Amino acid sequence: MSARKAVRLEAGLQELNGQLDTKVRERTAELALANDSLTAQYEEITAMNEELTAQNEEISSLNAELEHRVNERTADLTAANQELTAQFEELSHTQKALLASEENFRTFFDSVSEGVALHEVVYGEGEASDYRVTRTNPAYEVHTGLSPEKVQGRLATEIYGVADPPYLKEFADVAQTGEPYVFETYFPPMAKHFRISVVSPMKGNFATIFEDISERIQRESELRQKNEEMSRFVYTVSHDLRSPLVTIKAFLGYLEQDLKDKDAEASSKDMDYIRNAADKMATLLDEMLNLSRIGSRVNPPEEVSLKDLSREVLELVAGRITGRCVQVKLTEEPVVLFGDVARLKELYQNLIDNAVKFMGKQAAPLIEIGVRHDPAGITLFVRDNGSGIDPRHQKKLFGLFEQLDKTADGAGMGLAIAKRIVELHGGTIWVESVGEGTGTTFCFTLDQTRIGTKEGGMSK
C-alpha cells in the first residue's frame, strides 16, 4: 500500500465522513422536525379523540333519554289509542242506538194516529207574526186533507188562507216559554173540532199534536140533547102520569061517598071522571112507548118518492079525511126523500092528523102536501087552511104532552114525535102561521132530499 494511496483513502474517508455527518445532521434535524409535527398531530388527534369521546358520551346519553321518552310516548299513545278505541266503540254503539231511536221516532211520527206538525215561529218587528210549517206526518194529511207538499215550508196564513194565523198567540207563547199547552177548539177553516197539544222542542219552534174530535163533540152534543130530552121526559111523565092518578084516587073517594049516600047520578058522573083519567093514562103510556121506539129502532135508510109515501099515508088516514070532507092536494114536483121510510110515514101521518084535527070551522078544508125551494135548500111542508095557531103559543107546540087545546083528543105527543123524526133525519121543523083562523103550515127539512125520480123507477 502506498502512502499516497492511504492518504487519499483517508481523505476520501474523511470527506465521506463529513458528508455522512452532514447528512446525519440534516436527517436528524429533519426527523426532529417530523417528530415535532407528529407530536403535534398526535396531540391534536388525542384532543380530537377526547372531544369525540365526550361527544359520543353525550350522544349516547341523549340517545338513552330519547329512547326513554319514545318509550314513554309510545305507552301514552297506546293508552290513548286504547281509550280512543273504547270511545269509538262506545260512539258506534251510541250511534247505533241513536239510529234505532231515530228509526223508532220516525215510525212513531209516521204511524201515530194524531196529526203532528212541526213549526217555527216567524217574527216581524220583534213580535210573532206568523208561523211556518217545517214538517208534518201522514196523519196530518189525513186529518187536514193537506199534503206535505202543500204545507211544508209555507206560512200558516198561506196554508189556511186567513189574515190572522190561527192560535198564533198560544203557539208563540209555547215556543217562547217551553210550557206545554193543551186545548180543544173549533177550527173554522176546516169546520172541525180539534184537541191540540202544543209543545216546544226548542226555542222559537213548536210542535202541534192534534186529533180530530168532531165526532166526539157531536156525540157529546147529541148526548146532552138526549139528556135534556130525557129530563124533560121524566119531568112531564112525573107530572102528566100523576095527574090522572090524582083524579082517579080523588073520584074513587067521592064515589065511596056517593055509594054511602046512594046517589046514583053522582056515582055515574064520578065514574066518568075515573074512566077518562084511566083512558088518558093508557094513551100516555102508549105514546110514551111509541116515542121510545123512535129513539131506539131505526130501519136502514132508503129512498122513497114523496108521491108514493104520501099515498100510503093518505090511505092510513083516509077515514078521518073523508069524515071531515078534507081535500088533499099533492105537489106535482118529483121529490125523493131519503130515510127510515116507516118513520117518514109516521111523520106525515102525524102532520096530516094534526091538520085534520085542527081544521076548525073551515067549510072547505084543504091540506096541501108540498115542497118549496128556500135559499137554505128544499123545504117540505104540510099546509092546512084550518084554525091556525097564535104566534105567541107556537114555541110550546113541539114539546112533549103539550096541547094547546086540552079538549082535543090524543096525549099531545104527535108533534113531539114529528120533531123527533125530523131531527133523526138531520133536519129541523117549524111552524108558519099568522094567527088563529089563518091556517097552519108545518115546514121541515130532511137530509138528502132531492128533486128527481127514485132510481129503479116506481116514480108513478
Q: Which is nearer to other proteins, 243 or 290 (CB)?
A: 243
Host H or E run for residue 193: strand 192-199
Beta carbon of residue 236, minimum distance to other proteins (angstroms, whole number):
8
* Grid-cell match 056517593, residue found: 258
Q: Near other proteins by CB under 8 A, which window of 70-78, 91-99, 115-123, 271-279?
A: 271-279
d(CA 258, CA 152): 90
Angle among Cα 190, 195, 198 to the nearest 5 degrees reads 105
Beta carbon of residue 414, minimum distance to other proteins (angstroms, whole number):
15
Beta carbon of residue 249, minimum distance to other proteins (angstroms, whole number):
5
Q: Which is nearer to other proteins, 244 or 365 (CB)?
A: 244
Beta carbon of residue 250, minimum distance to other proteins (angstroms, whole number):
5
Beta carbon of residue 361, minimum distance to other proteins (angstroms, whole number):
17
Interaction between residue 273 and other proteins (CB under 8 A): yes
Interaction between residue 276 and other proteins (CB under 8 A): yes
Interaction between residue 67 and other proteins (CB under 8 A): no
Rg (CA), the chain: 59
How far apart are the two ends of the chain, measured CA to CA in Å?
Answer: 196
Sign of CA dihedral 345, 351, 352, 356: positive
Q: Near other proteins by CB under 8 A, which window of 58-66, 87-95, 398-406, 442-450?
A: 398-406
Q: Which is nearer to other proteins, 278 or 330 (CB)?
A: 278
Q: Which is nearer to other proteins, 24 or 230 (CB)?
A: 230
Q: Which is nearer to other proteins, 276 or 448 (CB)?
A: 276
- Please list, residue by residue across 51-67, b when 16 or more beta carbons sit within 10 angstroms of its beta carbon and e when fewer do: eeeeeeeeeeeeeeeee
Binding mask 400-419 for other proteins (x = CB under 8 A): -xxxxxx-------------
Tell which positions 181-210 bind other proteins, by CB under 8 A: none
Interaction between residue 277 and other proteins (CB under 8 A): yes
Name residue 367's beta-bridge partners. Answer: 328, 384
Beta carbon of residue 266, minimum distance to other proteins (angstroms, whole number):
10
Options 27, 96, 293, 393; binder of other proteins; rule CB under 8 A: 393
Cβ atoms of 415 and 265 closer than 8 Å: no
Alpha carbons within 13 angstroms on the beta-carbon side of residue 353 total 18
Interaction between residue 263 and other proteins (CB under 8 A): no
Beta carbon of residue 268, minimum distance to other proteins (angstroms, whole number):
14
Options 299, 396, 428, 451; binder of other proteins; rule CB under 8 A: 396
Cβ atoms of 168 and 130 closer than 8 Å: yes
Binding mask 235-254 for other proteins (x = CB under 8 A): xx-xxx-xxxxxx-xxxxxx
Beta carbon of residue 295, minimum distance to other proteins (angstroms, whole number):
22
- For 212, 309, 342, 370, 458, the CA distances from 306, given in Å and listed in that order, are 37, 5, 13, 9, 11
Strands (E), 293-451: 302-305, 327-330, 335-339, 366-374, 377-384, 429-432, 440-444, 450-451
Cβ atoms of 431 and 443 closer than 8 Å: yes
Q: Which is nearer to other proteins, 247 or 448 (CB)?
A: 247
Angle among Cα 253, 259, 262 to the nearest 5 degrees reads 145
Beta carbon of residue 238, minimum distance to other proteins (angstroms, whole number):
7
- Binding residues for other proteins, rule: CB under 8 A, are 235-236, 238-240, 242-247, 249-254, 273, 276-277, 390, 392-393, 396, 401-406
